[in-house]
């Protein structure tokens, strides 16, 4: 969601005694790649990306991303369009390799604002195209966010509604169409969208736009009660809270990344204790800056000499004079800019 906010510049000067803590330093990085703009011009259209890393030929990895007015794109790392599925109002997207079922892509389908659907595809990684698989229920209400977790041979999708409802959908694949069944519902008080699962700890993180980031047990048998782990405070995290991503380090460590849309920045939190770990902003360079970012995605590993340790992708809400697009950032540049950020293998 985009809102026009006037945000004061944050400074890192020491605060006087008795004053509120100083705002954290926001470091600057530049994008080294970008996608072709989405097809919907003069509108808030580009929204959310997901990354598939080719384990055999990393430079042939793919980015799947939404034009929430028109459908779903597949881009190469060169930013050029490989495929487009004109399926209408698809808001958020996620993907997971599912063994024999292939790389499964799930998009939140808001074509019917009263009945959320999850639209499924198989990503044909050789032909670089999306193969439609059908839809399953996403719950009651307007579909907004979606994130995935693998549970053995089954796929769990977390379908986030605009009103704060989260439906956990168990998805099974057969020889015809996928089957989906809601196994649990969670509820936050106000508008929500971004979500991500840390599969190592089975933790679901959900962004409540004006309040902060919540953590839930991602297992269907887990408690429905969440805890607010990162509140909107106007310094580390500035409303609206939008896209979320996980940058894993080792078996347990790493970082939660959040789009702090209110000041066009990205906030980092240590997964070990959810304490702030730094902030960065994508500034103007050859590819331009990012503003009003909705969705983000991260994937660790070597992709190419440009992206030697990981790839970060962010939606750019202001890409004038062209339509909105997605910016690609080398995680090595983020690590070098944010002090104390350990390398991601």
Distance between CA atoms of residues 260 and 240, nearest Å: 6
In a domain, residue 20? The reply is: no
Asked if 263 and 256 touch (Cβ cutoff 8 Å), the reply is no
- The answer to whether residue 251 is domain-embedded is yes
Q: Please state the φ and ψ torsions of residue 63, each to the nearest 5 degrees.
A: -120, 125
DSSP letters, 163-185, are TSEEEEEEEE--SSS-EEEEEEE
Which pair of tokens denotes residue 33?
Answer: 């790649």
What is the extent of the structural domain holding 310? 26-337
pLDDT at 343: 58
In a domain, 45, yes or no: yes
User: Is residue 342 assigned to a domain?
Assistant: no
Q: Backbone dihedral region of 288: left (phi > 0), alpha (psi from -120 to 50 degrees) or beta?
A: left
- 7 pLDDT band (50/70/90 cuts)? very low
Listed range (17-21, 105-109, 268-272) with the worst mean pLDDT: 17-21
- The SS3 call for residue 336 is helix
d(CA 82, CA 96): 19
Whether the CB-CB separation of 258 and 230 falls below 8 Å is answered with yes
Tens digit of each residue's pLDDT (9 = 90 or more) over 203-219: 999 999 999 999 999 99
CATH of the domain at 183: 2.120.10.30
Is residue 343 assigned to a domain?
Answer: no
Q: Which value, in Å, is the radius of gyration of the alpha carbons in the chain? A: 19
Band of pLDDT at residue 18, cut at 50, 70 and 90: very low
Among 12-26, 51-65, 74-88, 213-227, which is the least confidently predicted range?
Answer: 12-26
Q: Do the domain assignments include residue 12?
A: no
Q: What domain count does the chain have?
A: 1
């Amino acid at each position: 969601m985009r809102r026009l906010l006037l945000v004061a510049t944050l400074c890192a000067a020491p605060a006087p005694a008795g004053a509120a803590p100083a705002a954290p330093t926001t470091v600057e990085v530049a994008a080294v790649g970008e996608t072709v703009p989405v097809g919907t011009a003069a509108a808030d259209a580009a929204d959310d990306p997901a990354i598939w890393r080719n384990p055999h030929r990393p430079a042939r990895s793919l980015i799947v991303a939404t034009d929430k007015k028109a459908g779903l794109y597949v881009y190469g790392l060169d930013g050029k369009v490989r495929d487009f599925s004109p399926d209408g109002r698809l808001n958020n997207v996620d993907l997971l390799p599912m063994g024999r079922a292939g790389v499964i892509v799930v998009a939140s389908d808001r074509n019917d604002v009263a009945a959320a659907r999850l639209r499924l595809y198989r990503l044909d990684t050789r032909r670089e195209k999306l193969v439609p698989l059908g839809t399953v229920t996403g719950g009651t209400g307007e579909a907004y966010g979606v994130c995935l977790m693998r549970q053995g041979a089954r796929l769990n999708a977390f379908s986030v509604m605009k009103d704060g409802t989260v439906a956990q959908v168990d998805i099974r694949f057969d020889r015809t169409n996928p089957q989906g069944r809601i196994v649990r519902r969670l509820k936050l008080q106000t508008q929500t969208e971004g979500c991500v699962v840390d599969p190592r700890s089975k933790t679901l993180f959900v962004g409540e736009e004006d309040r902060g980031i919540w953590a839930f047990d991602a297992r269907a048998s887990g408690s429905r009660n969440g805890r607010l782990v990162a509140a909107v405070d106007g310094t580390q995290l500035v409303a609206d809270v939008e896209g979320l991503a996980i940058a894993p380090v080792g078996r347990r460590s790493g970082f939660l990344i959040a789009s702090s849309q209110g000041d066009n920045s990205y906030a980092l939190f240590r997964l070990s204790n959810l304490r702030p770990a730094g902030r960065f902003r994508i500034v103007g360079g050859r590819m331009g800056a990012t503003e009003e970012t909705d969705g983000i995605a991260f994937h660790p590993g070597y992709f190419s000499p440009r992206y030697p340790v990981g790839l970060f992708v962010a939606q750019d809400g202001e890409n004038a004079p062209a339509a909105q697009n997605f910016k690609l950032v080398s995680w090595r540049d983020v690590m070098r800019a944010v002090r104390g950020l350990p390398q991601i293998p």
